[in-house]
Amino acid sequence: MKASRLLAACATVVLAAGCGAATAEETAAVTVVNCGAEVTFAKAPERVVLLKSAAVPYLQSLGVLDRVTARAGQYPKEYYDAATLAQLDRIPLLTDKTDTSGHLQISKEVVISQQPDLVLGEVDNLSRETLSAVDIPLLEEPAMCPNATAVPTFDDIYAQMETYGKVFGRTAEAGKAVEALKARMAGIRKPTEKRTAAVLYPTVGGGVTYAYGAASMAHPQLEAAGFTNVFGDSKERVFEVTLEELLGRNPDVLILLHSDGDPKAVQAAITGLPGAAKLKAVSSGNVMPQLFNFTEPPSPLSIDGLERIVARFPAGA
């Protein structure tokens, strides 16, 4: 794959006159493998366009969120602290329009007009190949790559932080961020009692309900919270599930993922189903709506989501 941009004149010599605070690490060429493709950067990206929100916590941890010059999609405020929100508010929003299935609708021309040297997040009508044709590199979160087969773990979060650190010339910052995340994981005390749970994505207003199996980040998240995933015997990431199947497995707890919807409506999409009152999780009130990125794809937000689950369902609850 071609380099993301021709190396600027000031980058040809490390810390040459006029290069300001650029470091040797930031001006060195870097190649990473993403979704099976080699992506080469002649220097650390300086004009980034976000098409998905999953990368935000990584960029904030590395101190490079200010390099995002435009964004598109949804950025629920619940994901971020005040400092991150303030930075996001300063980044122009190109569009937040989605189709009926929740997929971002944005044209190639709008993105290219921003003159990015990196696009983060692949969308249906703007592929890696399309952007590569005009010498713009794209990085997707590995778990969301087409035909991804690797079973996600919390180690994927650390690896992705290190990847972004390499791309942006911030390997030291990435190392510190990884250690901080590992410390948070070590501090989580999961209950020892045996409990079961299911992670679902209901359709508000009626329609299909989806469940998450062993190939999703929901699976290690439930395990880290001390639960057995009742759909852990499925090797699929996500799949349709009926109420009858739910009743057959009858989990103690339900986690309901959603994309910036009304939590009450999300919960009602399950609890309002005929016969749902027979579910242990429903009858005991152990149902928790959770924003999607608090679980998937693997990111620092997945650790936030884990902490939220443990706080919501402590031992003996």
Nearest to 203 by CA among 294, 274, 123, 272: 272
pLDDT digits (tens, 9 = 90+) for 108-122: 999 999 999 999 999
H helix and E strand count, the chain: 12, 12
The number of residues making up the chain comes to 317
pLDDT of res. 3? 39
Q: What is the pTM of this model?
A: 0.88
Q: Among positive and negative, which fits the CA dihedral 125, 129, 135, 139?
A: positive
Residue 159 neighbours by CB distance under 10 Å: 13
Sign of CA dihedral 3, 9, 13, 16: negative
Question: How confident is the model at residue 77, as a pLDDT?
Answer: 95
Per the CB < 8 A criterion, the answer to whether 271 and 282 are in contact is yes
pLDDT at 102: 67
Residue 140 has pLDDT above 90, yes or no: yes
Predicted pLDDT of residue 19: 41
Domains and CATH numbers, the chain: 44-184 (3.40.50.1980), 195-312 (3.40.50.1980)
Two structure tokens written together for 169: 């010339």
pLDDT in tens, 162-195: 999 999 999 999 999 999 999 999 999 877 789 9
